[in-house]
Amino acid sequence: MSTLPQPFRLRWPHYGLAVLAYLVLLLAWAPASLLAWALPRASQQMARLDHVEGTVWRGSAQALRVQPASGPGESLGRMTWRLQPLELLRGRLGYRVSLDGAGIEAAGSVLLGPRRVALQALRGEAPADWLGRLSPDLAMWQPQGRVLFESETLAFGKSAITGRGSLRWIDAMSGHARIRLGSYRAELEGRDTGLAIKLSTESGALQLQGSGVWTPQRGLQFAGSARPSPGSGTESANLLGLLGPSQADGSRPIRIGR
């Protein structure tokens, strides 16, 4: 005896796919101004987009601006974005973004959730004078060269920053002494509401080391030491004179945000 085919019934996966398809279509036509409205709220007013074009799915902004709680805001150059639809299944917006302008080149993924903004597989390069914009103490060195930032995952939430990254000062020079200073590295780790920083020397005329923390509320707080590398000559020693008198071991203290 043959059996009659069972009638088709909608189940929860079908409803889920229908909702996902609706969201994808909605985002495909939503104007980019909606993203410009959402970014400051998701980033706790630390970032905004100027003069947007296109849609939430794919578009561009004339400038991405960051605004820490202390210090002036800065433009990171022109930004373009493209939606990563699969991130909707995780309850968040995911974008592949790139920055170009103001001497900055960067690319990576940005994930926007209800409680945090996360950066993934991010790599960016900028002029070293950006270091001086982090702190007047760093600006005193008149840094030149390039800074390179890399991170697999770094997330900024309402109550904590998590993840790791690195910031390298490469082909380092100072406006006070036209000598090549080498390459230096700061390891970054999310800790509570800030980024813990550990500085080390990769190679060069100076031996720099120390640790500190950066927070949106207080900016950069750092303590360390500097000394000339063996055989580096008098120019590097003269440059360290900017830091003040030497200590008993010949090093000079570094204090930022004191």
**Token pair for 13:** 């996966």
- Cα-Cα-Cα-Cα dihedral of 36, 42, 47, 50, to 10°? 0
Does position 143 have pLDDT exceeding 70, yes or no? yes
| Lowest pLDDT segment from 1-5, 39-43, 247-251 | 1-5
For position 233, what pLDDT does the model report? 65
For position 127, what pLDDT does the model report? 93
DSSP state of 14: H
Is the C-alpha dihedral spanning 129, 130, 136, 138 positive or negative? Answer: negative
pLDDT higher at 154 or 44: 154
Mean pLDDT of the chain, nearest integer: 81
Minimal CA–CA distance to 184: which of 152, 207, 211, 165?
Answer: 207
Q: Which helix (H) or strand (E) holds 138?
A: helix 136-139
**Token pair for 239:** 């440059």
Does position 209 have pLDDT exceeding 60, yes or no? yes
| Residue 10 banded pLDDT, cuts 50, 70, 90 | very low
CB 221 within 8 A of CB 208: no
For position 5, what pLDDT does the model report? 55
Only one residue has tokens 């008098």, namely 234
For residues 166 and 188, give the distance between their C-alpha atoms in angstroms, rounded to a whole number. 5
Only one residue has tokens 């090549």, namely 180
- Work out the average pLDDT over 218-240: 78
Minimal CA–CA distance to 175: which of 128, 198, 142?
Answer: 142
Highest mean pLDDT among 177-181, 243-247, 253-257: 253-257
Minimal CA–CA distance to 210: which of 218, 190, 221, 136?
Answer: 221
- Work out the average pLDDT over 54-70: 82
Only one residue has tokens 């085919």, namely 5
pLDDT higher at 3 or 151: 151
**Alpha carbon 56 to chain centroid, angstroms:** 22
Does position 158 have pLDDT exceeding 90, yes or no? no
| Residue 2 banded pLDDT, cuts 50, 70, 90 | low
**Token pair for 225:** 């030491």
- Work out the average pLDDT over 139-161: 88
- Work out the average pLDDT over 46-63: 89
For position 21, what pLDDT does the model report? 57
